[in-house]
Amino acid sequence: MPITTPPRLLLGPGPSNAHPRVLEAMAHPLVGHLDPSFLELMDEVQDRLRGLFGTRNEMTLPLSAPGSAGMEACLANLLEPGDDVVVGVHGVFGGRMCEVSSRIGARVTRVESEMGTPLDVSAMADAIARVRPRVVAFVHAETSTGVLQPVPEIAAAAHDAGSFVVLDCVTSLAGLPLELDAWGVDAAYSGTQKCLSCPPGLSPVSFSERAVTRVRERERPVQSWFLDVGLLAGYFGGERVYHHTAPISAVYALAEGLRVVDEEGLAERTRRHRAASRHLIESLAPLGFEPLVEEGFRLPPLTTLRLPAAVVERGEADVRRSLLLDHGIEVGGGLGKLAGTIWRIGLMGENAREANVERLVAALRATLT
């Protein structure tokens, strides 16, 4: 039997709906992962990713794994057992950074803020100055809370202590401006299924030359053979030496998605994401939804909203299920301490359009009445 899937408007925390050109690109015939035509396409992908990350880093590449592997790649390459790491935790994914670092064998110092609020820059700076860690890691766009964390001050404190900076850009790449070089970020990672509007399965990552030098000078090999930047450089660097079989069709999709982004322009794309988020908040306010995050720190591609009594009394999971099955619209529930109290509504990439907000509001009104 052929595979059949129902039509869905994906307004959760990811994946987002793919651009038709992206889906079409995946249907192109396969070639070898060392075929000259594919390597030329990979050059294009890496160059366009540099533009979106705001960097000249040679080691900017689409890692053949989802965003969580990008997180592990950044931390595993820069940390060795016994190293100190300061992690800013303002949501679930900051907590995951702590878990990954701990499994590597690093000594983890957590600096936490209440979910829905940004990190305290002074608290981060104090911890960095006290610990003087090998790595400082935090989340730019926290998907669990909808907080957009300012980067430059924390990154500056890290560099003053001689630390490397690792940044989670999973929900900000291609939706908001990134300036890795200007901010002083040494390693960053993202995912293709958010604002790039491509299928999940690839993790764009970028390592500074300073970070690559650190990997070369390690006392122990990177604990993960597959994620070792020193080995990946053989394939994603100038030599293009076999390391693994790249996911050809996924790279086709990413290449086309990056072309779509560049055609629109990041400035217009940023404006569109911000406008869609504002329209969402304004349109749902009459139904009793209130933003969780203070205005200056809201993440436009992923908006978190406190639930009104009508939704809580009905059962928020039941309301989301009705939206999905009766109207074909997916929205996300809360994670961790926020479970059952908020929704996470993604307006990412192709879905960051006011027409999608109108469709959601109409479906929600019909469901609640």
* In the chain, where the domains are located: 9-13+265-368, 20-261
By C-alpha distance, which of 215, 241, 280, 172 is closest to 79? Answer: 215
pLDDT of residue 239: 84
pLDDT of residue 295: 96
pLDDT in tens, 16-52: 999 999 999 999 999 999 999 999 999 999 999 999 9
Mean confidence (pLDDT) of the chain? 97
Q: Which two tokens stand for residue 206?
A: 């970028």
Rounded-to-integer distance, Cα 177 and Cα 260, Å: 16
pLDDT in tens, 298-345: 999 999 999 999 999 999 999 999 999 999 999 999 999 999 999 999
Q: Which two tokens stand for residue 13?
A: 């925390």
pLDDT at 1 over 90: no
Contacts of 206 (CB under 8 A, 6+ apart): 49, 50, 53, 55, 57, 59, 60, 61, 180, 187, 188, 189
pLDDT in tens, 277-303: 999 999 999 999 999 999 999 999 999
Percentage of the chain lying above the pLDDT 70 cut: 100
Rounded-to-integer distance, Cα 273 and Cα 349, Å: 8
pLDDT in tens, 153-201: 999 999 999 999 999 999 999 999 999 999 999 999 999 999 999 999 9
Asked: is 9-13+265-368 a CATH 3.40.50.150 domain? The reply is no
Rounded-to-integer distance, Cα 83 and Cα 131, Å: 11
Q: Which fold has domain 20-261?
A: Aspartate Aminotransferase; domain 2 (3.40.640)
Predicted TM-score of the model (pTM): 0.97
pLDDT in tens, 54-91: 999 999 999 999 999 999 999 999 999 999 999 999 99
pLDDT at 152 over 90: yes
Q: Which two tokens stand for residue 180?
A: 């890795």
Three-state SS string across the chain, please?
A: CCCCCCCCEEECCCCCCCCHHHHHHCCCCCCCCCCHHHHHHHHHHHHHHHHHHCCCCCEEEEECCCHHHHHHHHHHHHCCCCCEEEEEECCHHHHHHHHHHHHHCCEEEEEECCCCCCCCHHHHHHHHHHHCCCEEEEECEECCCCEECCCHHHHHHHHHCCCEEEEECCCCCCCCCCCHHHHCCCEEECCCCCCCCCCCCCEEEEECHHHHHHHHCCCCCCCCCCCCHHHHHHHHCCCCCCCCCCCHHHHHHHHHHHHHHHHHCHHHHHHHHHHHHHHHHHHHHHHCCEECCCHHHECCCEEEEECCHHHHHHCHHHHHHHHHHHHCEEEEECCHHHCCCEEEEECCHHHCCHHHHHHHHHHHHHHHC
119-124 average pLDDT score: 98
Rounded-to-integer distance, Cα 129 and Cα 139, Å: 20
Rounded-to-integer distance, Cα 167 and Cα 219, Å: 24
By C-alpha distance, which of 175, 166, 184, 16 is closest to 94? Answer: 166
Rounded-to-integer distance, Cα 194 and Cα 351, Å: 10
**251-to-42, 45, 52, 321 alpha-carbon distances in Å:** 8, 8, 16, 33
pLDDT band at 213 (very low <50, low <70, confident <90, very high): very high
Amino acid at 225: W
pLDDT band at 248 (very low <50, low <70, confident <90, very high): very high
